[in-house]
Amino acid sequence: MTDARLAPIGVFDSGVGGLSVLDEIRRLLPNESLLYVADSGFAPYGERGTPYIEQRCAAIADFLVGAGAKTIVIACNTATAALAPALRERIAVPVVAIEPAVKPAAGASRSGVVGVLATQQTLASERFTRLVGAHAAGVEIVSEACPDLVSLVERGVTSGIEAESMVAAHVARLRERRADTIVLGCTHFHFLRGLVEKAAGPDVRVIDPGHAVALEVRRRLAARELLSDQPRNGMDRIWTTGDVAAGNVVIGKLWPWPRELAPLPAAYCMPPAA
């Protein structure tokens, strides 16, 4: 009989942004085997409708469950907003989902203004409205949809003049409105954190929920006695729906660990009907 504790953790995102969450899980849970799907061929999700995102994420989650994942991590705020409850109903393993860290940001802000950098889909979602209503009452939320920053990171660009000026433009608009705390509400933006901090200045706190997600994964697995107690064997495995050669270069810049990269099998790459 196979030991369920040795099964891998499955993580996915619209593209390479979720590698930031994968990195936190890798550091916190070094015994765990990790699987990751980058849906780069269908990114960005941030400008798409819910049915499109639902269909892509359902296919990816089915693939990861089929590959033996003992838990699924939605490392994409946009996907969480679109389909976290539906995904929990669809698959039998626990689902851990990331969402913008509005609650700690509201607690940390002194000016009473919190800035959120996220995708259009996340910001327009009912889930985000509920999150703000529940945890940021009395705090003003100012937001920026940043599809340009998602594209930058998908190209592996995380430094240089182009990236700096694009980040600075978004941050300046949040600062003009007195935000003193900035939430990175899209996993791609973790890779631009240094530029956000530089543009915002030393008085602004930048909040990135990746580590909190890794802690939640550990908590859920521990509660089910599913944490691996043995050193993992083999490399982390990554699949992409984008070009594998280009993906290898970009992932190599963002993900410092040894890994195998392969194309996601064609059965899971069907373009969404909507």
Nearest one of 72, 17, 91, 3 to 240, comparing CA atoms: 17
Task: Give the H/E segment covering residue 255.
Answer: none
Q: Is 40 near ligand DGL (CB under 6 A)?
A: no
Beta carbon nearer to ligand DGL, 7 or 118? 118
Footprint on residues 109-138 left by ligand DGL (CB under 6 A): 119, 122
- Stretch of residues binding ligand DGL (CB under 6 A), selected from 27-35, 40-48, 58-66, 203-211: 40-48
**What spatial distance separates the first Cα and last Cα of the chain, rounded to whole Å?**
42
Residue among 14, 109, 158, 228 that touches ligand DGL (CB under 6 A): 14
Least Cβ distance, residue 219 to ligand DGL (angstroms): 21
Q: Is 43 near ligand DGL (CB under 6 A)?
A: yes
146 is known as an active-site residue: no
DSSP code string of 92-140: SS-EEE----HHHHHHH-SSSEEEEEE-HHHHHSHHHHHHHHHH-TTSE
Q: Are 95 and 72 in contact (CB under 8 A)?
A: yes
Q: Within 10 A of 239 (CB to CB), how many other CB atoms are there?
A: 24
Rg (C-alpha) for the chain, rounded Å, is 18
57 is known as an active-site residue: no
Q: Is 209 near ligand DGL (CB under 6 A)?
A: no
Residue among 72, 97, 117, 150 that touches ligand DGL (CB under 6 A): 150
Beta carbon nearer to ligand DGL, 213 or 226? 213
Q: Which residues bind ligand DGL (CB under 6 A)?
A: 13-15, 17, 43-46, 76-78, 119, 122, 150, 186-188
